[in-house]
């Protein structure tokens, strides 16, 4: 089995990637990253994903994948976007981030609550190829939390065509349709070299 390191210390992302990759490439083993966290000073999802993937590949010597993702809200001009994890400050407090976003949108009614989850995945093969792909999952934001599953902004994101938040979906439903699954499907070219 070929190992690919996922450049994150987020256990939720590791589990989600393991499930997504297993559906498409069961011969790849996604392993967690235990190295230093690089400074994510890019201003786009692509820049930050590549910073993390290059750091993980250099540290481990393994092919590395990194995801930089977030929620982009139409009425906020695409914010929080690349700042999704830090929306309420540098503590990376998911509950505070969600509370702040709900508060900022408290007077906004449908149909003006459009949003999309975006995932940009970078893959770096040490001494070899690099690739960046993006997946988007359109939907809208609920006015309050619903569901106990998922993480991050999942309790308020309702995907297009659904009447439930992602936090009310099963992990299998989410992993089949999410922004990360959509981005990963575009990686088939570089993954054939592993």
In this predicted model, what pLDDT tens digit does every residue of 86-101 receive, in sequence order? Answer: 999 988 899 999 999 9
Question: All domains of the chain, ordered by start, with CATH?
Answer: 2-191 (3.90.950.10)
pLDDT of residue 188: 66
59 labeled part of a ligand binding site: no
Predicted TM-score of the model (pTM): 0.91
Q: Is 86 annotated as a binding-site member? A: no
| Residue 110 labeled ligand binder | no
Q: How confident is the model at residue 62 (pLDDT cuts 50, 70, 90)?
A: very high
Q: Is the pLDDT of residue 192 over 90?
A: no
The catalytic position among 34, 67, 68, 110 is 68
pLDDT in tens, 123-180: 999 988 899 999 999 999 999 999 999 899 999 999 999 999 999 999 999 999 999 9
Tokens of 163: 């009447």
Q: Decide if 103 is catalytic.
A: no
Identify the CA nearest to 71 among candidates 20, 27, 137.
137
- 151 assigned to a ligand binding site: yes
Put the strands of the sheet holding 157-159 in their side by side order: 28-32, 2-6, 64-73, 114-124, 130-141, 157-159
pLDDT at 184 over 90: no
């Amino acid at each position: 089995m070929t190992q690919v390191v996922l450049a994150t210390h987020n256990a939720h992302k590791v589990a989600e990637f393991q499930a997504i990759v297993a559906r498409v490439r069961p011969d790849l083993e996604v392993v967690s990253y235990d190295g230093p966290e690089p400074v994510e000073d890019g201003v786009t999802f692509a820049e930050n994903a590549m910073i993390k993937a290059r750091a993980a590949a250099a540290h481990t010597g393994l092919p590395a994948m990194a995801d930089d993702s977030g929620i982009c809200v139409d009425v906020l001009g695409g914010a929080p976007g690349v700042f999704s994890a830090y929306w309420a400050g540098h503590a990376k407090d998911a509950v505070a981030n969600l509370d702040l976003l709900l508060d900022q949108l408290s007077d906004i009614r449908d149909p003006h609550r459009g949003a999309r989850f975006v995932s940009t995945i970078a893959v770096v093969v040490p001494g070899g190829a690099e690739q960046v792909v993006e997946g988007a999952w359109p939907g809208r934001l609920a006015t309050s939390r619903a569901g106990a599953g998922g993480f991050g902004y999942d309790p308020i994101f309702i995907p297009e065509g659904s009447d439930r938040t992602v936090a009310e979906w099963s992990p299998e439903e989410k992993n089949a349709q999410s922004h990360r699954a959509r981005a990963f499907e575009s990686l088939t070219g570089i993954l054939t070299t592993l």
